[in-house]
Amino acid sequence: MMRQSHTGDDSGTPKLLQALIDSMRVPDLRGRLLFVFAMLVIFRFLAQVPVPGVEREALDQFFRQSELFGFLDMFSGGALRSLSVVALGVFPYITASIIMQVMVPVLPQLKELSKEGELGRQRMNQLTHYLMVPIAALQGFGQLTILERSGAIDGIGLSGDSLLPTVSIVLSLVAGTVFLVWIGELITEKGIGNGISIIIFAGIVSTLPQMIGQGFLERDNPAGLLLLLAIGALTVYLIVLFTEAERRIPVQYSRSVFRGGRMYRQGGATYIPIKVNSAGMIPLIFAFSIMIFPGVVASYFVDPMSNSVLNQAANFIQQLFDPTKFFYYFFSFILVVAFTFFYALIMFRQQNLADSLQRNGGFIPGRRPGRATDEYLNSIIVRVTWGGALFLGVVAVIPFIVTTITDVRGLQLPAISLLIMVGVALDTMRQLEAQLLMRNYEGFIR
C-alpha cells in the first residue's frame, strides 16, 4: 500500500497562515525564521556581484542564444547569467556528496568510517568539503573556457597575460561556493530546514518573475498558456503524491526482560517506511550532468570559420545533445530510470536493514530473520522503486512534452525545479510543524 500525506483540508490555507502567524509569535522560532531570511538576502546580494572583468552585455547576448546555459542558469537563480561570485551555486558540494555516497560501498575505509556514528559522519562531511574545492575549481574553469570560446568573456587561459585574471576569477568562484555552503550549514544549524536545499530553492524561486515575464510574450497563444498552467498544477499534485508515497513493511519486536528473577518476553509492533521516490532529485542531477557533458566538450572544438572533420563532428554532437530535441529527452528518461535504481539500491545496501532488525530482536511477520528478510526487502525495494523511477523519468521529459503539446516556446515548464521546490517546501513545513508541536501549537501537515 502507498500512503499519501495531505497538506491540508478544505480550509487548509487559513490554517497554514495561522500556523505561520503562530510561529512568528514564538521568540526563538521567530528568530530562526528571520535568520533564514537574512541569510537568503545575503545570498541574493552576492548573486548580483560579478567576478572581475565581466562584460554584462556580451553575457546577456550569450545566454539568450544558449539553451544549455539558460537551463543551468535557472538553478543558480540568475547568478550564472551575471557570472557572479556565487555563479556555481552549491552544486559542486552536491556533486562531492554524491561521489562520497557512491564510493562508500566501494572503498573499505569509507565504509568503516560511515559506521562510526556521529564522529564518522563529521569526518565524512569534512572529506566532502575537501572534495568540493577541486570540483568547484574544475567546474568554474570549464564554464569560463566555454564562455571565452563563445565570445562572452575575454582573456581566459593558463598562459601569458591570461593566467592571473583566470586564476583570480576561478578563486572567486570557488570562494563563492564555499561561502554558500557555509551559509547553508548555518541555516541548518540555526534556522529551519536543510540549508543547502533552501539555497537551491531560493535560487529557483528568484527566477519566477523572469518566467512570468516570458509568459506575457505568449499572449497570442492563450489556449496554450491555459493548458500549460493546467499541466503545471497537475505536475505539482503528482510531485506531492509521489514525494509523500511510501510502502510500509510491518515489523514485530520481541525482547527478553528479567524481572523478579524470571524472564519475560515483551514485544511491540512498528513498520519500515520505504519511500517510492527514495532517491529524490539525485538521479535527475546524474542524468542531466551526463547529457550535458558531450555538448560541453563538443563546444571546445566548434569553430564557425572551419570546415574540418573535427568541427563537423563537434557540430553534430552539439545538435544531437541539444536540450530542445527529442533524442536528448529520450536518453535523459532512460538514464534517470537507471540512476534511480542504482542510487536507491546503493542507499538500501548501506542501511543493512535485515542485519539491524536481527540485532535488535525485530522480524517481519512470515519471514525468517537474516537472508530471507534481506531478499524480501530487496524485492520490495525493486518493485517500489519502479514507481519512483518512472515518475522521475516523466519529470525529466515534461518540458519537451509540454512544449510539443502547448506550442508555447517562450515559456517552459521547469518540472525539475518544481520537484526541488515542492520537496524543499514539504521538508521545511515538517520541521516547522515539529517546532510548533513542541510548543503545543497546531501544525499544518495532516
- Cβ 339 vs Cβ 282: under 8 Å: yes
Write down the pLDDT at residue 65: 64
207-235 average pLDDT score: 73
* pLDDT greater than 70 at residue 400: yes
12-38 average pLDDT score: 73
Does domain 222-407 bear CATH number 1.10.3720.10? no
Query: 61-75, 160-174, 216-230, 421-435: which range is least confident on average?
Result: 61-75
* pLDDT greater than 60 at residue 20: yes
Domain with CATH 1.10.3370.10 in the chain: 1-219+411-446, 222-407
* pLDDT greater than 90 at residue 183: yes
Q: Is beta strand 362-363 parallel, antiparallel or unpaired with respect to 246-259?
A: antiparallel
* pLDDT greater than 90 at residue 159: no
Write down the pLDDT at residue 76: 66
Give the ranges where 150-278 is alpha helix by DSSP (H): 163-190, 195-205, 208-215, 222-244
Inter-CA distances, 55 with 61, 79, 351, Å: 10, 14, 50
Q: How far apart are CA 136 and CA 139, in angstroms?
A: 5
What is the third-level CATH fold of 1-219+411-446? Preprotein translocase SecY subunit (1.10.3370)
- Cβ 281 vs Cβ 424: under 8 Å: no
* pLDDT greater than 50 at residue 12: no
- Number of Cβ within a 10 Å radius of residue 391: 22
- Number of Cβ within a 10 Å radius of residue 327: 12
Q: How far apart are CA 376 and CA 365, in angstroms?
A: 11
* pLDDT greater than 80 at residue 156: no
pLDDT band, very low/low/confident/very high, at 42 (cuts 50, 70, 90): very high
Give the ranges where 2-116 is alpha helix by DSSP (H): 12-25, 27-46, 56-65, 67-75, 91-103, 108-113
pLDDT band, very low/low/confident/very high, at 1 (cuts 50, 70, 90): very low
Residue among 272, 269, 316, 279 at smallest CA distance from 297: 316
For the stretch 285-342, pLDDT in tens is 778 777 777 776 776 676 666 677 777 787 777 777 777 778 888 888 998 999 888 8
Residue whose C-alpha cell reads 555552503 in the numeric block:
181
- Number of Cβ within a 10 Å radius of residue 310: 12
- Choose between 244 and 303: higher pLDDT: 244
* pLDDT greater than 60 at residue 257: no
Write down the pLDDT at residue 345: 81
For the stretch 90-107, pLDDT in tens is 888 988 888 887 788 778
- Number of Cβ within a 10 Å radius of residue 183: 23
Query: 62-71, 223-232, 245-254, 363-372: which range is least confident on average?
Result: 62-71
Q: Hey, what's the torsion of the CAs at 378, 384, 385, 389, to 10 degrees?
A: 160
The dihedral sign for the CA sequence 7, 8, 9, 11: negative
Write down the pLDDT at residue 150: 67
Residue whose C-alpha cell reads 535568520 in the numeric block:
35
Write down the pLDDT at residue 259: 55
C-alpha cell at 411: 515559456
Write down the pLDDT at residue 2: 43
Write down the pLDDT at residue 180: 92
